[in-house]
């Protein structure tokens, strides 16, 4: 038998099994089908069952004779039906004449169609093709409809089916509940895929029972389920969700829920799910809180975020980003000793947007690096402008995001910008945070070393704000330590400067200059001066200033 993967027409060739004891009939069927199919043969029901066992997964159809010695067609069908692995293989029965009782018995036993002897080539080829086509499309629908692991709907099908459901039930009110295991990756690393699959299975089952008035549920991502439920008037039903993961795999499983109440029937279901997941994100890291609702505020924020991401590139091209400069006051000389470049966005629709709002977004989508290069160039131009106007020239520091270190030749690119503008490298300070170091220590150390060798000054930003580690202090090539505003604020409010003092001492051991951020009062200034701090940056001396104001300030 010549096997090949494709027929002449280019369609993949299907395998068809002929079960027939009569040599002439078998030969005839074989020659009718051999053009289009790979044909397997069996001389009676027993051989046929054996072939079925070996080949069921690749078999598209069986052509079955009814009367055969040893094991007839009826018995074949009975045996076939007892093993559900064989369900996917359809059967066409070939009968000698139109014996009604035989046909009915075969149908009862699961046959799909008949052909009557003597054979008609056209009829046989077409019936075989029709049945195969029918079965394959049904199987595709089946695959697309169900998530076989959890027996929930597949994501795609859930979206489509719920869309149809919601468009046809305008009157009803429904809530969308999405769940996610936020530490799923860690769990599957630790417990393995098979265990996690079992856990997802059990969780899907429990949720289907625990959630009230479920319309349908789907698995919309690896560990994310979505359930449409009838709208609940009170929110107390969510109490029951607390126990739902009890005893599953790991006690530290972090199962979170996001809920959209009264879903908008006109909104794409996938967007409704996105909103539920957005709500869920709000409690992703919050210990002890597992349920969050999608609120108006969250919606407004999402809209703003969307506008921001949509308009950021145009904004950069149109110079909507404005760089402000906040002077740093030198406690030794009593003069301005430098300034920090801080970016603002004057958005045509949203107005003044704070960097706290857009920088984290840009750090998520990578745009921050473009912006940082822009700010660097603006800072260089400002230095040149001051020089040309005969003003005092002070070093300007720029913030370099941890993401910028993904740029392979960061140090060279920074140097190029400075050189092109004709700015001495010592006039540019680079502010980095410790998180840059913890993300990617080797890369960051190498890039900073290169910058420092090339004459730039490196400042460690936000020291004391989070997880300051002595390791990074020791490893990073630094010149300046900036004490985070939070430790200054805390010292001032408790009137206890011990932490500030030890930070300044530590900087001294490491030969680093110190800048205190967020200094707002005379009293704070005095205390910092006594502790030996070198510079002060804060509202007490100056807020971040527009270019013109800044130039007046240093003149």
The binding site for ligand C2E (CB under 6 A) comprises: 326, 342-343, 354-356, 359, 368, 372, 375, 399, 401, 461-462, 485, 517-520, 537-539, 544
Question: What tokens does 381 get?
Answer: 């131009």
Q: Which does 401 bind (CB under 5 to 8 A by kind): ligand C2E, Ca ion, none?
A: ligand C2E
Give the interface segment with Ca ion, choosing from 173-181, 365-373, 397-405, 466-474 (CB under 5 A). 397-405
Output the residue with the shortest Cβ distance to ligand C2E: 538
Pairing of strands 255-260, 224-230: unpaired
Ordered strands of the 91-95 beta sheet: 38-42, 15-19, 59-65, 91-95, 113-116
H-state helical runs in 149-295: 155-168, 184-191, 193-210, 269-281
Q: What is the DSSP letter of 89?
A: S
CB of residue 256 to ligand C2E, shortest distance in Å: 28
In whole angstroms, the minimum distance from the beta carbon of 555 to ligand C2E comes to 22
Nearer to ligand C2E by Cβ, of 182 and 537: the residue is: 537
**DSSP helix, strand, coil percent of the chain (3-state; round to 5):** 50, 20, 30
Distance CA 258, CA 476 (A): 41
- For the bound state, the minimum distance from the C-beta of residue 512 to ligand C2E, rounded and expressed in Å, comes to 17
Distance CA 332, CA 513 (A): 12
Which residues are CB-contacts of 140 (< 8 A; sequence separation ≥ 6)?
none
431 binds Ca ion (CB under 5 A): yes
Burial (CB < 10 A; 0-12, 13-18, 19+), residue 467, is: exposed
Task: Give the separation between CA 345 and CA 353, rounded to whole angstroms.
Answer: 5
Q: Least Å distance between CB 482 and Ca ion?
A: 6
Quick one: 460 or 519, whose CB is closer to ligand C2E? 519
Using CB under 5 A as the binding rule, whether residue 459 contacts Ca ion is answered as: no
| C-beta of 160 vs 304, nearer to ligand C2E | 304
Task: Please state the closest distance from residue 323 (CB atom) to ligand C2E, in A.
Answer: 7
Segment interacting with Ca ion, rule: CB under 5 A, options 13-21, 72-80, 233-241, 431-439: 431-439
Q: Which residues of 358-375 are buried (b: 16+ CB within 10 A; e: fewer)?
A: bbeebeeeebbbebbbbb
Which H, E and C letters describe 324-375, residue by residue?
EEEEEEECCCCEEEEEEEEEEEEECCCEEECHHHHHHHHHHHCCHHHHHHHH
Q: Which does 6 bind (CB under 5 to 8 A by kind): Ca ion, ligand C2E, none?
A: none
Burial 237-271 (b: 16+ CB within 10 A, else e): bbeebeebbeebbbeebbbbbbbbbebebeeebbe
Q: Closest distance between Ca ion and the C-beta of residue 432, in Å? A: 9
- In the complex, the smallest distance separating the C-beta of residue 258 from ligand C2E, rounded to whole angstroms, is 28
User: 296 or 356: whose CB is closer to ligand C2E?
Assistant: 356
Residue 444's CB is within 10 A of a number of other CB atoms, namely 25
CA-CA distance, 202 to 214, in Å (whole number)? 17
From the list 101-109, 155-163, 453-461, 498-506, the region that binds Ca ion by CB under 5 A is: 453-461
Q: Is 399 in the site for Ca ion (CB under 5 A)?
A: yes
CA distance readout (Å), 362 to 345, 355, 368:
13, 10, 5
Crossing angle of helices 368-388/296-317, nearest 10°?
Answer: 50
CA 52-55-61 angle, 5° bins? 65
Q: What is the rounded distance in angstroms from the CA atom of residue 470 to the CA atom of residue 473?
A: 5
Instruction: Could you list the beta-strand ranges (E) of 84-194.
Output: 91-95, 113-116, 153-154, 174-181
The one of Ca ion, ligand C2E, none whose footprint includes residue 204, by CB under 5 to 8 A per kind, is none
Toward ligand C2E, which CB reaches closer, 65 or 372?
A: 372
DSSP collapsed to 3 states, 181-210: ECCHHHHHHHHCHHHHHHHHHHHHHHHHHH
Least distance between ligand C2E and beta carbon 332 (Å): 20
Q: Give the binding range for Ca ion (CB under 5 A) out of 111-119, 227-235, 427-435, 506-514.
A: 427-435
Contacted entry of Ca ion, ligand C2E, none for residue 65, CB cut-off 5 to 8 Å set by kind: none
By C-beta, is 67 or 539 nearer to ligand C2E?
539
* Closer Cβ to ligand C2E, 29 or 308, answer by number: 308
Ramachandran region of residue 459, left (φ > 0), alpha (ψ -120 to 50) or beta?
Answer: beta
20 or 461: whose CB is closer to Ca ion? Answer: 461
Min dist CB 319 to ligand C2E, Å, is 14
- Distance in Å, CB of 531 to ligand C2E, minimum: 18
Closest CB to Ca ion among residues 21, 461? 461
- Indicate if the alpha-carbon torsion angle 460, 464, 469, 471 is positive or negative: positive
Nearer to ligand C2E, 75 or 520 (CB): 520
The tokens describing 353, both together, are 């947007």
Q: Which does 269 bind (CB under 5 to 8 A by kind): Ca ion, ligand C2E, none?
A: none
Residue 20 contacts which entry, ligand C2E, Ca ion, none (Cβ below 5-8 A, type-dependent): none
Residue range at the interface with Ca ion (CB under 5 A); choices 61-69, 145-153, 426-434, 505-513: 426-434
Scan for tokens 């506008």, then name that residue. 307
**Residue (241 or 375) nearer to ligand C2E, CB:** 375
Is residue 309 within 8 Å of 361, Cβ to Cβ?
A: yes
Our finding on whether 462 is near Ca ion (CB under 5 A) is yes
Residue (238 or 435) nearer to ligand C2E, CB: 435
- Which residue's CB is nearer to ligand C2E, number 181 or number 375? 375
Task: Give which of ligand C2E, Ca ion, none residue 343 binds (C-beta under 5 to 8 Å, depending on kind).
Answer: ligand C2E
Which listed range, 1-9, 238-246, 328-336, 394-402, lies at the site for Ca ion (CB under 5 A)?
394-402
* 461 is a contact residue toward Ca ion (CB under 5 A): yes
Site of interaction with Ca ion (CB under 5 A): 399, 431, 461-462
């Amino acid at each position: 038998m010549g096997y090949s993967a494709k027929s002449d027409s280019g369609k993949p060739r299907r395998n068809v099994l002929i079960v027939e004891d009569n040599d002439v009939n078998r030969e005839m069927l074989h020659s009718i089908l051999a053009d289009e199919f790979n044909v397997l043969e069996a001389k009676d029901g027993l051989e046929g069952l054996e072939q079925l066992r070996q080949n069921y997964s690749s078999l598209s159809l069986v052509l079955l004779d009814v009367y055969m010695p040893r094991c007839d067609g009826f018995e074949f069908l009975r045996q076939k039906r007892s093993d559900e692995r064989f369900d996917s293989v359809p059967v066409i029965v070939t009968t000698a004449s139109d014996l009604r009782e035989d046909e009915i018995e075969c149908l009862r036993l699961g046959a799909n169609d008949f052909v009557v002897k003597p054979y008609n080539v056209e009829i046989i080829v077409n019936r075989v093709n029709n049945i195969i086509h029918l079965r394959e499309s049904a199987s595709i629908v089946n695959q697309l409809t169900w998530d076989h692991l959890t027996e929930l709907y597949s994501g795609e099908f859930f979206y489509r089916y719920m869309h149809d459901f919601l468009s046809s039930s305008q009157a009803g009110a429904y809530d969308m509940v999405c769940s996610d295991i936020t530490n799923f990756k860690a769990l599957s690393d630790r417990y393995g895929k098979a265990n996690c699959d079992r856990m997802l299975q059990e969780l899907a089952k429990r949720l289907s029972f625990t959630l009230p008035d479920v319309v349908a549920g789907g698995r919309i991502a690896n560990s994310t389920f979505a359930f449409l439920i009838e709208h609940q008037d009170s929110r107390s039903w969510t109490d029951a969700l607390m126990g739902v993961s009890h005893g599953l795999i790991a006690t530290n499983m972090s199962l979170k829920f996001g809920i959209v109440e009264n879903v908008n029937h006109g909104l794409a279901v996938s967007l409704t799910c996105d909103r539920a997941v957005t709500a869920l994100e709000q409690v992703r890291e919050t210990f002890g809180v597992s349920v969050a609702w999608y609120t108006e505020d969250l919606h407004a924020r999402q809209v703003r975020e969307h506008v921001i991401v949509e308009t950021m590139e145009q904004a950069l091209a149109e110079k909507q980003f404005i760089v402000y400069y906040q002077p740093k006051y030198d406690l030794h000389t009593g003069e301005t000793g430098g300034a920090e470049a801080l970016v603002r966005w004057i958005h045509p629709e949203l107005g003044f947007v704070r960097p706290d709002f857009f920088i984290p977004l840009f750090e998520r989508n990578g745009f921050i690096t473009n912006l940082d290069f822009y700010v660097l160039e603006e800072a260089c131009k400002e230095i040149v402008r001051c020089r040309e106007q005969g003003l005092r020239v002070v070093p300007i520091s720029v913030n370099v995001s941890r993401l910028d270190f993904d740029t392979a030749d960061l140090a060279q690119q920074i140097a190029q910008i400075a050189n092109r503008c004709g700015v001495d490298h010592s006039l540019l300070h680079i502010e980095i945070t410790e998180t840059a170091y913890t993300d990617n220590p080797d890369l960051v150390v190498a890039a900073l070393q290169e910058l420092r060798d090339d004459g730039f000054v490196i400042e460690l930003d936000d020291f004391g704000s989070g997880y300051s580690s002595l390791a990074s202090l020791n490893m990073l090539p630094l010149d300046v330590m900036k004490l985070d505003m939070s430790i200054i604020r805390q010292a001032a409010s408790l009137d206890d400067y011990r932490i500030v003092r030890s930070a300044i001492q530590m900087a001294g051991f490491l030969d680093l200059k110190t800048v205190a951020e967020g200094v707002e009062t005379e009293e704070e200034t005095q205390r910092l001066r006594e502790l030996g701090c070198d510079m002060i940056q804060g509202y007490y001396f100056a807020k971040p200033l527009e270019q013109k104001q800044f130039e007046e300030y240093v003149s």
